[in-house]
Amino acid sequence: MGQGRAGFLATAALCWVVTIVALAPLAEAKDRILLDERFQTLDRWKPLLFPKISRHSSYQTDRCDGQPCLRLESENAASALVMKESFDVYAYPGLAWSWKVSNVYAKGDSATKEGDDYPVRLYVMFAYDPDSASFGKQVQYGLAKTLYGEYPPDSSISYIWDNRAGDAPFIVNAYTDAARMIPVDAGQEMVNTWREHRVDIVRDYTMAFGRKPPAKASLAVMIDSDNTGESATSWIRSIRLFGPE
């Protein structure tokens, strides 16, 4: 993330007010499938641009092995794509997706602000609840609401393709400790290979923060390279949200 945004959470308030709406079930409750996104269109998604960053990442529908997919491209750029709908992570804690990347960043380093770029990441952003927040957090988020007209997200976890392999189960973002990153792929070994992942959002949030998450959340995808000045292309073939198994 670049210096102009001081972390994804604070800037996400710019779009949070217009994108968070109730998500109507996409299937019968008995199927336990809330979202099965195949990226035939981007109607369900909205771009998120960051102040002071003039070059934006590109998000377009594409074809991967004859099937629809999302192509993400970044060249010394940064922006995100945010899902317009929200969901209850306790009703639908399951998250599964398929992605691949063209390369990782030589200068990428999750421990520093200068290296905080990733060829692909999938965010789960959690809504702020003033009724359960501490006094200090109420003051902080109250100021943010005055500036942006709405509360920013409470916190986030993001699943990342890290540039370097490591042993840590999660990484505290270099810009804000309200954002925790979970490496599910890392390094060059599996570049240009489709990777399938299936996770439990509630379990992972609890592991990363040491507490249960707020109930309301939304998704975002991102590719950025504004800190390293490098470039990459990645693809996402599907994203699914589903109930407990």
CATH number at residue 122: 2.60.120
Other beta carbons within 10 Å of 117: 29
Is residue 61 in some structural domain? yes
* Backbone angles phi and psi of 151, in degrees to 5: -65, 140
Q: Is residue 2 part of a domain?
A: no
DSSP-derived letter for residue 140 is H
The whole-angstrom separation of Cα 245 and Cα 236 is 24
Tokens of 13: 């308030």
- In a domain, residue 3? The reply is no
In a domain, 82, yes or no: yes
Would you say residue 23 lies in a domain?
A: yes
Domain that residue 18 falls in: 8-242
Residue 180 falls inside a structural domain = yes
Q: Which residue has the tokens 């000045």?
A: 229
145, 17 contact by CB (below 8 A): no
Q: Is position 76 within any domain?
A: yes
Q: Is residue 193 part of a domain?
A: yes
User: In a structure prediction context, what are the per-residue pLDDT tens digits for the chain, which is 245 residues long?
Assistant: 554 444 555 455 444 443 433 444 444 444 689 999 999 999 999 999 988 899 999 999 999 999 999 999 999 999 999 999 999 999 999 999 999 999 999 999 999 999 999 999 999 999 876 666 566 665 665 665 565 555 567 899 999 999 999 999 999 999 999 999 999 999 999 999 999 999 999 999 999 999 999 999 999 999 999 999 999 999 999 999 999 97
Per the structure, how many domains does the chain have? 1
